């Protein structure tokens, strides 16, 4: 076994199906889930993520901005109902 013996064992499956579209103007729309099934507790965690991104340039520097809204359709007791994330990515193409 790997890891610290004081920690509980894990037995989980991670699934991440997705669909995305990028327009000619570099606007992206994505829909995915980052589902986890915990085999030990027989529990699913299933967020549905809807994201919008835009690629822009500041001078010669391309930058991607992304906003993702997340709704949990299945979760363990006490889990979150929703989430929101915002990401800025600096791109360095060759």
Q: What is the mean pLDDT of residues 22-50?
A: 97
Q: What is the mean pLDDT of residues 51-71?
A: 97
Q: What is the mean pLDDT of residues 59-67?
A: 96
What average pLDDT does the structure give for the chain? 94
From the list 72, 65, 66, the residue with the least C-alpha distance to 34 is 72
Q: What is the CA radius of gyration of the chain?
A: 18
pLDDT at residue 2 above 80? no
pLDDT at residue 1 above 60? no
In this prediction, residue 8 carries a pLDDT of: 79
In this prediction, residue 4 carries a pLDDT of: 79
């Amino acid at each position: 076994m790997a890891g610290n013996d004081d920690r509980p064992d894990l037995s989980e499956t991670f699934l991440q199906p997705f669909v995305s579209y990028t327009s000619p103007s570099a606007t992206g729309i994505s829909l995915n889930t980052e589902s986890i099934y915990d085999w030990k507790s027989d529990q699913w965690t299933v967020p549905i993520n809807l994201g919008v991104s835009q690629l822009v340039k500041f001078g010669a520097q391309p930058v991607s901005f992304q906003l993702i809204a997340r709704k949990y359709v299945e979760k363990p007791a006490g889990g979150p109902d929703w989430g929101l994330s915002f990401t800025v990515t600096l791109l360095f193409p060759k």
